[in-house]
Amino acid sequence: MRIDILTILPDLLQGPFSDSIMKRAQTKGHLELEIHNIRDYSTDKHNKIDDYQYGGGAGMVMSIEPIAAIIEKLKAERDYDEIIYMTPDGELLEQAICNDLSLCKNMIILCGHYKGVDERVREHYITKEVSIGSYVLSGGELGAAVLVDSVVRLIPGVLNDETSALTDSFQDRLLSPPVYTRPSEYRGWKVPEVLLSGDFPKIEAWREKKAFERTQVRRPDLLD
């Protein structure tokens, strides 16, 4: 999968992709990640990428010209399945969206700032708008990092058996059951007996029951 991220803060996006599973996805060839600085596409002599909003009011708006220039350049080079805009008024990110996006070959992710982007960018270039939660971040970069991580780990071959995405919380609309490792007793706090029993059907039944109970208490909306 190829992902192009458009940002005014490219340095902010270096960290999340230079470690662990996201780094391995790139070195193994599953992910080709390109981070583009929107400022490089400004034709203004001070590299300005924003302006005052028409009609007045506080807050700057990201201008259409540099964003259009970069999107059109990328679209001339290859076809994109999705051009995503990270915004608090987008569709709330859920596992089902991550699953769908993991089938894409190429996608662009645009990170907003200030009051957002000129609405004409959204009308004419954007194919999907995503929010990572009902709160406002300083910019779309952290949301883009969350989106990329949640999608790329689903690409076959990115995770090994040990970290398999199939047993993740949400994949079957249930939260994950509790997990334990050695020691079997710590300060008198014991690991549930069933997990030490070696009786795998019983262990599986216990895990399903715990996953269901946990979901009922913490996220009853998932069971609706």
- Report in angstroms how near the CB of residue 210 gets to ligand ADE at its nearest: 31
- Report in angstroms how near the CB of residue 172 gets to ligand ADE at its nearest: 26
Q: Which uninterrupted H or E stretch holds 149?
A: helix 141-152
Q: Name the token pair of 106.
A: 């190429």
Torsion region of 175: left, alpha or beta (phi above 0 gives left; psi -120 to 50 gives alpha): beta
State which of residues 49, 83, 84, 140 lies at the interface with ligand ADE (CB under 6 A). 140
132 binds ligand ADE (CB under 6 A): yes
Distances (CA, A) of 208 to 55, 166, 177, 203, 212: 56, 14, 7, 9, 6
User: For ligand ADE, which is the closer residue by CB, 3 or 174?
Assistant: 3
Q: Is 27 helix (H, G, I), strand (E, B) or coil?
A: helix
Tell me which residues in 148-177 interact with ligand ADE (CB under 6 A).
none
Scanning 13-21, 42-50, 80-88, 162-170 for contacts with ligand ADE by CB under 6 A, the matching segment is 80-88
Q: Is 104 within 8 Å of 58 (Cβ atoms)? A: no
Smallest Cα–Cα separation from 126: which of 139, 141, 109, 138? 109
- Report in angstroms how near the CB of residue 62 gets to ligand ADE at its nearest: 12
Smallest Cα–Cα separation from 32: which of 22, 19, 42? 22
CA distance 100 to 15: 26
- Report in angstroms how near the CB of residue 109 gets to ligand ADE at its nearest: 10
- Report in angstroms how near the CB of residue 180 gets to ligand ADE at its nearest: 34
Size of the site for ligand ADE (CB under 6 A): 12
- Report in angstroms how near the CB of residue 12 gets to ligand ADE at its nearest: 13
Scanning 17-25, 38-46, 83-91, 164-172 for contacts with ligand ADE by CB under 6 A, the matching segment is 83-91
| 21 burial via Cβ count (<10 Å: 0-12, 13-18, 19+) | middle
User: For ligand ADE, which is the closer residue by CB, 94 or 204?
Assistant: 94
Site of interaction with ligand ADE (CB under 6 A): 86-88, 112, 131-133, 135-137, 140, 143
